[in-house]
Amino acid sequence: MAVVKLQRPKLNFGEKIYFGALIKGFFLTMSHAVKSLRGKSVGAETLASSGLGVTMQFPEQRWDSHLPEYYRGAPALVTDEQGRERCVSCQLCEFICPPKAIKIKPSEIPSDDPWAKVEKRPLEFDIDMIRCIYCGMCEEVCPEQAIYLRKDYLITGLKRADMVHDKKRLYEIGGVRVGLVNKWNELK
């Protein structure tokens, strides 16, 4: 392995006692403090500042309208334009989920159901939001495009049980997604 010898930079006396740098830093900080008091902080507008610096006063103020397009919040299940639940309980998300947050109980769709040809759907689908790390692996692995990370980020509860999103809750958060690949059309 090649050894690279680094030359320490030669410092003059002023730099060696670093007093000048301290003073410089102090003035920089002070200038920002003054700017902040005058409501002129850099990026205050885009970051929806409360007036003092760039700080947003949570929870009175919310991120919601400022969330970027790519924001990834809580994972949730979605239905398609015909109201069909897209998830077929293939359990791939349960398998891939790094902190094992997802628990699925599969079931067979009864033959008198309008979507009987899909054959399979989840009976229970739980995501433990204490465990979820919002990594988005579930969304990526889903072969049916049934699970998406939505914009919800305020997941709170008073009990552990409150933090488990069941199937009903997941569909509430998820809502409808249209225009995705639809493999269960009339040709199937």
Partner 1 sequence: MSDTPSATAELILPKDLAAGKGMVNVQIDDIWHQFPKGTRMIEACRQAEITVPHYCYHPKLSSPGNCRMCLVQMGMPPRPAPGQEPQRDENGYEIIGWMPRPVIACANTVGENMGIRTTGDLVEKCREGVMEFLLINHPLDCPICDQAGECRLQEQSVQHGRGVSRFVDMKVKKPKNVDIGPRIRLDDERCIMCSRCIRFMDEVASDPVLGFTQRGTHTTLTVHPGRLLDSNYSLNTADICPVGALTSNDFRFQMRVWFLKETPSIDVNCGTGTNITLWARGNKLHRITPRLNDEVNSAWMPDSHRLNFHYIDSAARLTEPLSRSVGVSPTSFSPTPWPTAIAQSAAKIQSIPAAQTAIIASGRMTNEELFLTHTLAAEIGTRLLSLVPRSGEADKLLVAADRNPNTTGAKLILGSENPYSGLAFIRDGVRDGSIKSLIVLGEDIITDAGFTADDLGKLDFLLQTSVLANPTAEHAHLVLPSAAFAEKRGSMVNLSGRLQRLNRAVELPGQAHDDWEILRDLILAISGGKNEVHHIEDVFKALAENVPAFNGLTLSKIGHQGTQIADTGYQIPLLANERARKAAGLING
- Cα–Cα distance for residue pair 120/91, rounded to 1 Å: 11
Q: Is 175 in the site for partner 1 (CB under 8 A)?
A: no
Supply the minimum distance, in Å, between the C-beta of residue 26 and ligand SF4: 44
The site partner of 97 among partner 1, ligand SF4, none (C-beta below 5 to 8 Å per kind) is ligand SF4
Q: 66 or 105: whose CB is closer to ligand SF4?
A: 105
Which of 76, 80, 89, 126 forms a contact with ligand SF4 (CB under 6 A)? 89
The site partner of 99 among partner 1, ligand SF4, none (C-beta below 5 to 8 Å per kind) is ligand SF4
Q: Is 173 in the site for ligand SF4 (CB under 6 A)?
A: no
Whether 155 contacts 170, CB under 8 Å: no
Q: Is 153 exposed, middle or buried (0-12, 13-18, 19+ CB in 10 A)?
A: middle
How does DSSP classify residue 79? B
Whether 165 contacts 129, CB under 8 Å: yes
Name residue 4's amino acid: V
Contact region for ligand SF4 (CB under 6 A) — 32-40, 93-101, 160-168, 175-183? 93-101
Q: 91 or 182: whose CB is closer to partner 1?
A: 91
CA angle, residues 142, 126, 92, in degrees to nearest 5: 25
Q: Is 39 in the site for partner 1 (CB under 8 A)?
A: no
The site partner of 132 among ligand SF4, partner 1, none (C-beta below 5 to 8 Å per kind) is ligand SF4
Residues 6+ away with beta carbon under 8 Å from 75: 127, 132, 134, 136, 138, 139, 147, 148, 149, 150, 170
Q: Is 78 in the site for ligand SF4 (CB under 6 A)?
A: no
- Cα–Cα distance for residue pair 52/41, rounded to 1 Å: 8
Q: Is 120 in the site for partner 1 (CB under 8 A)?
A: yes
Q: Is 55 in the site for partner 1 (CB under 8 A)?
A: no
The contact set with ligand SF4 (CB under 6 A) reads 75, 87-93, 97-99, 101-102, 104, 127, 132-138, 141-142, 144, 146-147
